[in-house]
């Protein structure tokens, strides 16, 4: 189930407008779903401003039992549009990170959140440790923005050793929503009872195949092929 935080006017070339939903209505959306269906995992995405962050955090804090929380700190769109206001950044760290089971920043987001320049895998790991110090239980640090033929992600956690995930870089323009998709697949896998490492590996594989099968729509950053598992099931 989804609670809408904002409506966007966008295409493959960028985000051209954002219409924010009233924070009280965001909280109401969450409440009616949680009271009826409950949730094993909540995943946050574009929260846009501090008032929405606070509304989401307030509802998560009051949930009984408290679901696991995956925080995708969506800050900048592929086309460069700002999706998180400056004041919301502090609210995200202060209000949501202490409840987060996993935070999933890419390299630019990690740098913005921690004030650590992220230009290497070692920097990713260092920034991940800083995010743990902010209260998160684990940080899935995405390395797709770093240079190289190989994409290296690092999971830093407070209850075990680092996990390093490697894979070949796929050269394509069809990368719209890769971070959102990874966080959603991670949350879905955690909700199905997987541990963090298994959930992360499954989410990463899902995204890689979704990129490989992308239909090539649009003249900018096109969408992924989210339906590839159904195609595999039908062909198998």
Tell me the CATH number at 61: 3.40.1190.20
pTM: 0.95
75 within domain boundaries: yes
Task: Look at residue 181 and tell me if it is in a domain.
Answer: no
> What residues pair up with 176 in beta bridges, in sequence order?
223
Instruction: For residue 10, count other CB atoms closer than 10 A to its CB.
Output: 17
Q: Which domain holds residue 64?
A: 1-99
Give the active site residue among 142, 143, 181, 222.
142
User: Is 80 marked active-site?
Assistant: no
Question: Does any domain span residue 167?
Answer: no
| CB 75, CB 109: distance < 8 Å | yes
Per-residue pLDDT of the chain (236 residues), as tens digits, is: 999 999 999 999 999 999 999 999 999 999 999 999 999 999 999 999 999 999 999 999 999 999 999 999 999 877 667 788 888 999 999 999 999 999 999 999 999 999 999 999 999 999 999 999 999 999 999 999 999 999 999 999 999 999 999 999 999 999 999 999 999 999 999 999 999 999 999 999 999 999 999 999 999 999 999 999 999 999 87
Pick the catalytic residue: 104, 179, 181, 222?
A: 179
CA distances from 223 to 12, 99, 170, 211, 227 (A): 8, 31, 14, 8, 11
Cis peptide before 222 (omega within 30 of 0): no
Residue 78 annotated to the active site: no
Domain membership of residue 12 (yes or no) is: yes
Please state the domain count of the chain. Answer: 1
CB atoms within 10 A of CB 47: 31
Question: Between β-strands 163-168 and 150-157, what pairing exists: parallel, antiparallel or unpaired?
Answer: antiparallel
Instruction: Mark whether 142 is an active-site residue.
Output: yes
- Is there a catalytic annotation at residue 177? yes
Is 180 catalytic? The answer is: yes
Residue 84 lies inside a defined structural domain of this protein: yes
């Amino acid at each position: 189930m989804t609670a809408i935080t904002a409506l966007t006017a966008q295409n493959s070339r960028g985000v051209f407008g954002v219409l924010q939903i009233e924070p009280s209505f965001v909280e109401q959306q969450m409440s009616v779903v949680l009271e009826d269906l409950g949730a094993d995992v909540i995943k946050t995405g574009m929260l846009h401003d501090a008032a929405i962050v606070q509304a989401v955090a307030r509802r998560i804090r009051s949930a009984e039992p408290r679901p696991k929380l995956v925080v995708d700190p969506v800050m900048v769109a592929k086309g460069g549009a700002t999706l998180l206001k400056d004041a919301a950044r502090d609210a995200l760290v202060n209000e949501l990170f202490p409840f987060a089971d996993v935070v999933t920043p890419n390299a630019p987001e990690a740098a913005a959140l921690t004030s650590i320049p992220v230009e290497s895998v070692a920097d990713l790991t260092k920034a991940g440790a800083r995010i743990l110090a902010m209260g998160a239980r684990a940080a899935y640090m995405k390395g797709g923005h770093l240079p190289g033929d190989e994409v290296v992600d690092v999971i830093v956690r407070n209850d075990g050793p680092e996990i390093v995930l490697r894979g070949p870089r796929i050269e394509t323009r069809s990368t719209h929503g890769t971070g959102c998709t990874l966080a959603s697949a991670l949350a879905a896998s955690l909700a199905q009872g997987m541990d963090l490492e298994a959930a992360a590996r499954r989410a990463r594989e899902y995204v890689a195949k979704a990129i490989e099968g992308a239909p090539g729509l649009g003249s900018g950053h096109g969408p992924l092929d989210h339906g590839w598992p159904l195609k595999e099931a039908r062909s198998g």
